[in-house]
Every structure is written in C-alpha cells, then in structure tokens.
Structure 1
C-alpha cells in the first residue's frame, strides 16, 4: 500500500508526509526538527523563546543534520523584534508559520520574499481574517492541544469542519493528533495535514527532561488543566501541584508561572518549578518512541484506516 499523500500540503511544503511538528519554545530546535524532516515530515524551528541568537545557531545546525525541508515559526506575541521577518527571510527557509498575532502584520512581506505562509487559528473569525490577509494555508488548532490557547477554547472536532466548510486554502489540523486514526479523522473533517505537539515532546529525540516525558506517558486523559480563562493567552498544561493551584484562580495570570523557571522544568526535570505545556492527547501516549517510528506508523496506519473505511462503506 502506498504511503504517499499527494495533496496541497505535501506539494506546498515539499515533504513526503503531511505531518508538521509544532513550534514549541526551547523544544522545537535542531535536534527534534531535523529528526522530523528526515522522517519525511516538516520540522519547525521555534522563535517563541525569544532567543534569536540561539535560534540562528539552531537553524545553522539544520544544514548539517538534514537535507530535507524545514520551516520556522514566528510567534508574534512573544517575539517583538522589529526585524523578525527579515531574520526569518535571511535564514533561507521556504516555509513559515505565524501565530499568536494578527495575520495582516507579516503575511504580505513574507510572501513577497517567496515564502509559503500558514497562520495558526483557534476560531472561524481568525481563519477568515487570515485568508483575507493572503495566507497560503491555515493551522487550525483545537482547544485540546497543549500550550498557548484562546481563552474561549473550541474542540477540533467542531472547529476543523466548520473552518473547512468556509475556506478554500489547505488546512493542517492541530490538537489531539497522535496516530493514523487521528490523522484519518482530521482528513475526513477537511484537513490535508496534521501537526503534532505533545507527541513530539514525548519523542526520543525531544530535548526535554525524561521526567516530563514520563509524566506524559503516565498521564490519564484528564491529567491536563486549562488555565487563564480570565485573560489571554490561556494555557493547557499537565496536571501538577503547581498547575492545579492555578486551575480555578481567576486573579493570577498563569503566565507568571513560566517566567524565569520554565527551563528548570524543561531541562532540569523539576515538574513543579513551572508549567509543562501539554495537550489532552497525553492520555493516549504510553511510550517514548523515535520520531521516525512515530511518523511512519502514523502514515501507514492512516492509509490502512482510510482503505478499510472505503471498503466497508462504499460500493
């Protein structure tokens, strides 16, 4: 059975598999991104850490680690450097995702420089605004995903088909994506690709501390909390003593729990020093696996499921 996915996402991105790695701060760097690209997907280098000198070094490393396409994310709310667009253009990449901000701000400049631009959206309104701004595609992100969120969260099962019914651009589905079954569901709902975040955090090549990976492996489907409904951005994180204390706190901005302490959790393994940004799909992850195994099994299972459904429900 073929494992290729000839659609607009693979054609635009120049990849074998329409699987994109999420642009997670400090995590989405060369070690992980190159593994994703080498496995046939689209590795992404983050900028949300704000450490642009380090990011430039990570991009340089990519040339030694892969000859496959990779992209860069511009997280507008977290990177306020006025030269960020030129910075990304100068890195020689062809694909960029923009997020956490207004799609009209950078889209035309990036496209004029020849880059393919997808914007991350959590609502139909945001999707229509991004399409009007001229983006090439969308990353449609459901509220079940980890990390920074719209305080008025919408599950991907509702959001994805809604947006797909209103726009003509290709869509990458984000939130709850882990395997061939979730990928097949996303394709059925109108996506042409998927983005994996939490599954990549737990991957063997992920640079985070083993304590975080094992916490994901051991997590139940109810072991995340949604924080900051009273402000923006909202956050979804693993359930820990630190995050539970903030779950129903309508006065404290949970972002303060990330300030200055995130790296103690990410790389030091102190799970209560900060917030472990993680999606609900942690409840479906039961092992740490290499990126190549994750992507290849996801693609093969997706094709198998689609074939089975076609055989069962069509004449």
Structure 2
C-alpha cells in the first residue's frame, strides 16, 4: 500500500516520514539514508557551522537523487544571509524553528520553496499560518531536544491545532513506529517526524555509547531541563542532567560546550544527550531503511486492524 496525501505530494516523497534536524547529527550520512528509504532527510543548521553545512548539502547531491530539506534554526543561526544560503543551494523544502515564523517565510516562498514551521502551541500555530507557511510541524512536549518551557503532549496538541488550522500537519514528539504514526494520523497529522529513533539508527553519526544508552533507557529516563527559562530541553538522564535538574545553572547552553566529546567521543557525561521519552520503546539499533519499512508496514496493519475491529 502507498501513501497519497498533501505531505507526500508537497514533498515529493514516497512516505510522509521526516527526520528531525538535530544539530551535528542531521547531516548527509543520516539524511541521505532517510531520503533513499523513501522519507525526507533534513540537513541541520543549529550547529551554526554553515561552511560544514554547505559541504553536507553537496554530499547529499552525491548520495541521493531523492528530495531532502534544510532546517533554519533561527535561535542558533544569526547569519542574516541564511535565506540566500538555502535558496542558492536549490533546496525545495525548508523547516523554520525556534523563532518568528514570519521572519523568513515570505522571502523563502518568493523563491519557490515550501516552508513548514515548527510549533509547540496553538498560539504558535495560528501565528505561523498567518505568516503564510505551507504547513506545520506540531511538536509535542514528549519529544527530545529544545522545547517550550510549558510542554503540551501530542495527544492534546495535535487535535487542538488540527481543529483550528487547514494547512497540513507533520506530527513530532512521541513518534517511533507504525502504531504511533497511525495514532498521529488519527489525531489530524498527515506526516510524522522522528528524532530519537533516528539518533539510534545505524546511520546516525553519534557514538555508539549514545545509541546504546537510548536502547537501555526506560520510559522514565529523560529529564526536562531549564523549564523556567528558554530554551527548555528534554534529555537522557545521566549524572550530569540529574544534577542540572535539581540545580540548573544561570545559562544551560554553556553545558553544551563539550558536546562533540559526547556526540562523537562517547563520553555521556561530557554534555547533554538530547532525547525524547520514546527512548523507553526503542529496543535495538537498526538501519534507517528497516526503521522506515517497519514503520510503514505497521502503520497500514494498524489502520487495517482497527477498521476490521470497529468499522465492520
């Protein structure tokens, strides 16, 4: 069975499954694997390393002939030339996040790009639609990474936003397999975004220690940090993050100063390992193609089983 909805049509993909734009992680190695498997790989900019990102986009052209996108993380990329940077690289799809949805939307759309904005609240959704975005990534508070200090779970946020807007929605936060994808569709989504599941994939560039920590984690093994400031964030529980949960410092971002020692060196106490609550449901490290294939198969099986059980 195949998908045919507004997301697959707009993005030109086989499956409406998008990979989250995680800093340093969402680069060509991972993103091309997602695109080649029929989903949509996204290249990050939140690392701020735009020279490296330029190289990663060139690599994408070599590794896949399938569509892919770029994220503009406004809070982390202060370069005013970021829009020209994306347009010059002939990217078709852009997600904007961590900032005003109206800042770049008009310029990107004038250049012919499709623009989705990441939102954590209904207020944010309405503002993004008013700014003219083509669609929304609706991000529940159970997801990993940087968050609204007042998190709202996907079970509440997705139907709330769906009732108030007409643009297509990609659901993020809590998505890990076909059952959660089917649940997101029941709540109003037409696509899903996966972060933690992709971090723990074979093609993810992070150190195996991080992947194995995700596999070993229980559903209670994340912490929600910095909730009385911005940005809040959800991460794996470690000695470091447990301390920060009890005694947050004046600037949480300084805790990322040795991020690469964690990301690529495997020192789980060197920085903060961002992760969603779905870590508690991930039981093994798998190739991206297998993750996507199993997700799609389980999605259709779930929908079919529900129909047989309740619609007959």
TM-score bucket of the superposed structures, by smaller chain: over 0.9
Which of 300, 303, 307 is residue 300 of structure 2 equivalent to?
303
Distance (whole Å) between structure 2 residues aligned to residue 54 and residue 21 of structure 1: 19
CA distance in 2, matches of 1:267, 1:119: 29
Given candidates 233, 258, 262, the residue that maps to 1:265 is 262
- 1:39 deviates by 0.2
Equivalent residues in 2 for 1:48-67 (5 A)? Answer: 48-67=46-65
Q: Measure how far apart 1:242 and its partner are.
A: 0.5
Q: Residue 93 of structure 1 corresponds to which residue in structure 2? A: 91
Provide the secondary structure at the position in 2 that maps to 1:204: coil
CA apart distance, 1:250? 4.8
The match for 2:253 is 255
**Cα drift, residue 251 of structure 1:** 4.7
- Structure 2: gaps (5+ residues): none
Counterpart CA distance in 1 for 2:212 and 2:261 is 16
User: Cα deviations across residues 164-220 of structure 1 (Å, max 9, x unaligned)?
Assistant: 110000000000111000000000000000000000000000000000000000000
Residue of structure 1 in register with 2:215 after alignment? 217
Q: Match of 1:117, SS?
A: strand
Q: Secondary structure at the match of 1:96?
A: strand
Shift of 1:287: 0.2
Shift of 1:109: 0.4
Once the two structures are superposed, the pairs formed by residues 111-130 of structure 1 within 5 Å of their partners are 111-130=109-128
1:173, 1:310 → 2: CA distance?
22
In the TM superposition, what whole-angstrom CA distance separates every residue of 1:14-61 from its partner, at most 9, and x where no partner exists?
000000000000000000000000000000000000000000000000
Corresponding residue to 1:76 among 74, 77, 96: 74
The answer to whether residue 245 in structure 2 is matched with residue 284 in structure 1 is no
Distance in 2 separating the partners of 1:158 and 1:49: 31
Q: Are 2:146 and 1:138 equivalent residues in the alignment?
A: no
Pairwise CA distance, 1:93: 1.0
The answer to whether 1:13 aligns with 2:28 is: no
* TM-score (ref. length: structure 1): 0.98
Q: 1:228 aligns with which of 226, 229, 239?
A: 226
Aligned 1:188-203 pairs, distance under 5 A? 188-203=186-201
- In structure 2, C-alpha distance between the alignment counterparts of 1:12 and 1:231, rounded to whole Å: 36
1:40 aligns with 2:23: no
Equivalenced residue count is: 312
CA contact (8 A) 1:198 1:278 kept: yes
- TM-score, normalised to structure 2, is 0.99
Q: Deviations over 1:99-143 (max 9, x none)?
A: 000001000100000000000000000000000000000000011
Cα deviation, residue 64, structure 1: 1.0
Q: Equivalent residue of 2:234, what SS?
A: strand
- After superposition, the CA RMSD in angstroms is 0.7
The gaps in structure 1 that reach 5 residues or longer are none
2 CA distance for matches of 1:201 and 1:106?
A: 28
